[in-house]
Homo-oligomer: A and B are copies of this chain.
């Protein structure tokens, strides 16, 4: 019942072209949802206001009510803590006069009993273009802008989500015995948040945003002191159901037995030449049909003039000709029964205008025909297993990685190249650069890759999501079904860079807060730079998860450990407190100038045997969850036996091992040797720590799944 009442009221107000629901009505609604509001009365005149105040008891708050009023404080349309009748009637006069002077509609006054002092929070709802309805929690009242202490979740939320939101904001301390004050009613506040979420779900599609600012939490209550529902002028359905991922025919992008290359070229440096080289000359053993004008030999293969000439129905059409030709190509594909096309060509919505229209036409045809499209404006796909690739980067300029356990999807082709080369030795399974994603989107790819038996880690670089809700639901399901970590770096976080993202890949990047919250709900590991994405993915691909946040470090040089510890707070890690026996064992073994505690400083005199001894001690200490070695390979006593020492530990240790080292050619050679035996090495303290954090977080998430 409450839901129908709410939706019908919203619709009535929208029909009246009102921007908001008047506050006194709004508060009646809240009561229906069991959200506490201050005792109050809506009145029309100053005299009635006085009578209401007498009845409620001073001190009171006075608020002007008007259907078009959005910013009460700025408009002097709210007065708090009015202690007597004279002040009240003066305030009424001033308020009404202000409205009259500005020629604004004025409905009357809301007189409310003041709530005793407590902690103030802002709670809000928004209708996000990508995620649909979301809830926000912030610390604050008037200080919210300064505090910048907010968090978001996609609706619907669970009690666990809501408790997680509270845990995330610094302002939680205000409720927990702040500066000697008694603890406030946090349980009531949780109820308020859950009720607001229910309201947000019920009214979905009818509001732009809803603000409860502040919600006052006191020892006894949690009260929505102020409530403002900003209605949408374009009411929509409930928009809460996300389309499910569509993985049909995606195999054709990775395991095509037959490929047509539309736009093959015999001119070196042309994209059609390089793609032909990638397809034909490098280990991939599918059949390639080059299509170009005139009969030519392309790397020894006969060329064709059109798809229709090809003697069989190809699994995949790779398109590098101008985008304007693509609608017709799709018509042909449909006629021939081709079900997958990779459109490398750019020149679509990133240019706006007619080109954006063209891209819409392409999308329309693909959907109509049921043809799966990747692209346009991308560098394509790669399968490290069968070596299928259609990259327009030559093998001379871009190395292809060996087969490994990581899949990567990327909106940016540039970062696609960087990822491939960074994972040369570590290896990957599949990679997709998806550009403008007119059809196959992030969710489709995640759903597809999560099912791939060889893929153990999924990584994604995104600038904006087409359908955020679909992505989140798909990731959530993939993670809980397949128990594989998904790492996402979302860039385009500020308005500025969202705009840059827009001009390049035609999407609105949005702000990051909502993404961050939604990623948490899905169990996604989110990182803050492309370098962190590489580091975290590498760690997850090579090492097991951590059982807890207890870090141990060993080094023959202290500097990087000092740096690392600086980051422990930000990354929520802890120096594991060692057992006494662990410390004593090390003391008994080491010369007195080694420092036998955590972190272990084996000094410039350390040998590989010294590292091995420390690693064994730490492995046996139950307080240690991760073993982190930093190596100054430049120091002579450290012999190359270190590679086998680490390899041996890695074989028998159930605990993750992460290494670090920074230097020139010798250091790089030793680091590579250690990575070759399965243990990742990082070049900076920051990435070393970010990797540890990810193993801890993945351990926690995994535990919550099982």
Contact = CB atoms under 8 A, between A and B. Distances in A.
Q: Identify the interface centre among A145, A148, A417, A564: most chain B CB within 10 Å of its CB.
A: A417
A569 interface: yes
Q: Report, nearest first, the 3 A-B pairs whose CB atoms are least far apart.
A: A414-B557, A412-B559, A421-B664
Interface stretch (A187-195, A281-289, A581-589, A633-641): A633-641
Interface stretch (A107-115, A381-389, A501-509, A617-625): A501-509
Interface stretch (A233-241, A303-311, A333-341, A596-604): A596-604
B601 A398 contact: no
Contact of A413 (B492, B501, B604): B604
A565 interface: yes
Given A180-B74, A413-B604, A563 B418 contact: no
A531 B567 CA distance: 14
Contact of A633 (B397, B562, B633): B397
A663 interface: yes
Contact of A143 (B143, B350, B531, B635): B143
Contact of A494 (B569, B634, B635, B664): B569
A70 interface: no
A494 B560 contact: no
Contacts of A492: 562, 566
A397 to B, nearest CB: 5
Interface of A: 73-76, 83, 139, 142-143, 145-149, 170-171, 173-174, 178-180, 269, 271, 274, 346-347, 350-351, 379, 392-394, 396-399, 410-415, 417-418, 421-422, 424, 461, 463, 491-494, 496-497, 500-501, 503-505, 509, 529-531, 555, 557-566, 568-569, 575, 592-593, 595, 597, 599, 601, 603-604, 630, 632-637, 662-667, 684-686
A422 B684 CA distance: 13
Nearest to A666: B397
12 contacts: A73-B180, A74-B180, A346-B604, A394-B636, A397-B633, A411-B559, A412-B557, A414-B558, A414-B559, A417-B557, A418-B663, A504-B558
B496 A569 contact: yes
A608 B323 CA distance: 25
Contacts of A604: 271, 346, 379, 392, 413
Contacts of A269: 636-637
B684 A529 contact: yes
Contacts of A179: 73-74, 142
Contacts of A398: 634, 663-664, 666
A180 B76 CA distance: 9
A633 B418 CA distance: 10
Contacts of A637: 269
A436 to B, nearest CB: 12
A162 to B, nearest CB: 20
B593 A684 contact: no
A146 B139 contact: yes
Given A76-B180, A142-B178, 20 more contacts: A75-B180, A146-B171, A274-B636, A351-B595, A397-B636, A413-B632, A414-B559, A414-B560, A417-B632, A421-B663, A492-B562, A496-B566, A496-B575, A497-B562, A497-B563, A497-B568, A503-B601, A504-B558, A509-B562, A529-B686
